[in-house]
């Protein structure tokens, strides 16, 4: 496998001074010879910047804090590089910057959004590929799950990544105590619920944590 060359440096734009005579601090990400530049949203007086070291001269307390801020960016960028490699995503200067700026963040789906989409499809299949009683059970399961989330978390919906093993165990206990479901009935509702989770996992909408 071809090795990826990676470099990150900080510099200032001396030709873009603000009214206070401060230069914007920039970062440059270079991957395999291709580079991309972006502002770090900080400025500094040029005489307090070391071009050789790519950081501020620590003659003032505020510049010590600035260097700590730049160090945190460096650590974040290096972490992103490793994340992309682990995810087997193409590592480029742009992909690293996009991840840093949150531009590649996936849209987070919610539990009831996926549940509702599933049940709507079931309604369309009612009487042909799915028994009406089964469709109704999914609707009841959705209602029970909504009630559980509201009574337990005081939320109208939850992100899929908020669903954990503990969430499912608490839901089962709630069905048996609050809804007075017998073991077999609670198991059926849990089966319906877990189908929604399997769909979300298959679509890559949530992480496997249980």
Are residues 116 and 85 part of one domain? Answer: no
pLDDT at 210: 56
Are residues 115 and 97 part of one domain? Answer: no
Query: 184 lies in which domain range?
Result: 111-202
Buried b (16+ CB within 10 A) or exposed e, 49-75: beeeebbbeeeeeebeebbeebeebbe
CA–centroid distance for 68 within its chain: 25
H-state helical runs in 107-164: 111-125, 132-153
Confidence of residue 208 (pLDDT cuts 50, 70, 90): low
Q: Is residue 208 part of a domain?
A: no
SS3 content of the chain, % helix, strand, coil (to 5): 55, 15, 30
Are residues 159 and 81 part of one domain? Answer: no
Beta bridge partners of 39: 26
Confidence of residue 58 (pLDDT cuts 50, 70, 90): confident
Are residues 97 and 115 part of one domain? Answer: no
pLDDT at 1: 43
How many whole angstroms separate alpha carbon 136 and alpha carbon 113? 18
> 61 pLDDT exceeds 90?
no
Give the domain-ending residue among 73, 101, 129: 101
Are residues 156 and 135 part of one domain? Answer: yes
Taking every pair of Cα atoms in the chain, the longest distance, rounded to a whole number of angstroms, is 78
Give the domain-ending residue among 68, 101, 134: 101
Of the chain, the percentage scoring pLDDT greater than 70 comes to: 94
Out of 39-53, 55-69, 196-210, the most confident range is 39-53
Number of neighbouring beta carbons within 10 Å of residue 40: 14
Task: Select from 182, 184, 178 the least CA-distant residue to 143.
Answer: 178
> 190 pLDDT exceeds 90?
yes
> Between 152 and 1, whose confidence is greater?
152
Out of 60-69, 100-109, 169-178, the most confident range is 169-178
Are residues 124 and 96 part of one domain? Answer: no
Name the domain count of the chain: 2
Are residues 93 and 21 part of one domain? Answer: yes
Q: Given the DSSP bridges, would you call strands 23-31 and 49-50 parallel, antiparallel or unpaired? A: unpaired
Are residues 151 and 81 part of one domain? Answer: no
Of the chain, the percentage scoring pLDDT greater than 90 comes to: 74
Confidence of residue 131 (pLDDT cuts 50, 70, 90): very high
Give the domain-ending residue among 44, 69, 101: 101
Are residues 45 and 127 part of one domain? Answer: no
> 143 pLDDT exceeds 60?
yes
> 184 pLDDT exceeds 80?
yes
pLDDT at 146: 97
Backbone angles phi, psi at 209, to 5 degrees: -125, 5
Are residues 173 and 131 part of one domain? Answer: yes
Which one-letter DSSP state was computed for residue 68? H
């Amino acid at each position: 496998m071809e090795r990826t060359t990676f470099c990150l440096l900080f510099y200032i734009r001396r030709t873009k001074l603000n009214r206070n005579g401060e230069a914007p601090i920039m970062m440059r990400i270079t991957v395999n010879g291709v580079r991309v530049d972006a502002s770090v949203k900080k400025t500094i007086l040029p005489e307090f910047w070391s071009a050789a070291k790519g950081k501020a001269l620590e003659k003032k307390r505020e510049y010590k804090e600035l260097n700590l801020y730049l160090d945190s960016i460096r650590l974040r960028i290096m972490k992103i590089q490793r994340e992309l490699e682990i995810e087997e995503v193409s590592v480029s200067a742009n992909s690293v910057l996009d991840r840093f700026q949150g531009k590649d963040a996936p849209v987070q789906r919610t539990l009831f959004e996926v549940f509702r989409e599933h049940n709507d499809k079931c309604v369309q299949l009612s009487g042909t590929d799915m028994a009406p009683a089964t469709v109704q059970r999914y609707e009841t399961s959705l209602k029970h799950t909504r009630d559980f989330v509201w009574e337990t978390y005081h939320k109208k919906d939850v992100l899929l990544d908020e669903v954990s093993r503990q969430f499912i165990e608490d839901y089962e206990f709630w069905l048996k105590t609050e809804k007075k479901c017998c073991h077999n009935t609670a198991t059926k509702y849990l089966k319906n619920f877990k189908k929604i989770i399997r769909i979300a996992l298959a679509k890559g909408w949530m992480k496997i944590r249980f």
